[in-house]
Amino acid sequence: MDIILLGPPGAGKGTQAHRLVEHHGMMQLSTGDMLRETRKADTELGRKVSDIMDSGSLVSDDIVSAMIDAKLADMGPEVGAIFDGYPRTAAQAEQLDEILAKHGRNLDHVIELEVDEDALVERITGRYSCANCGAGYHEVFKRPEVDGVCDECGSTEFKRRPDDTEETVRHRMQVYRSETAPILPGYEKRGIVSRVDGMGAIDEVTHAIDSILA
State the catalytic residues.
13, 88, 127, 161, 172
**152 close to 130: Cβ distance less than 8 angstroms:** yes
Residue 191 C-beta: closest distance to Mg ion, Å: 27
What is the amino acid identity at position 102?
Answer: K
87 binds Mg ion (CB under 5 A): no
56 binds Mg ion (CB under 5 A): no
What's the Cα-to-Cα distance from 36 to each of 31, 33, 48, 52, 166, rounded to whole Å? 8, 5, 12, 11, 19
Q: Which one of 13-21, 34-42, 125-133, 136-144 is the stretch in contact with Mg ion (CB under 5 A)?
A: 13-21
Map residue 75 onto helix, strand or coil: coil
Among the listed residues 3, 29, 35, 93, the single contact to ligand AP5 using CB under 6 A = 35
Residue 32 C-beta: closest distance to Mg ion, Å: 5
**Rule CB under 6 A: which of 171-190 touch ligand AP5?**
172
Instruction: Report the C-alpha gap between 133 and 212 in whole angstroms.
Output: 30
Instruction: Report the C-alpha gap between 208 and 197 in whole angstroms.
Output: 8
150 binds ligand AP5 (CB under 6 A): no
Catalog residues that contact Mg ion under the rule CB under 5 A. Answer: 14
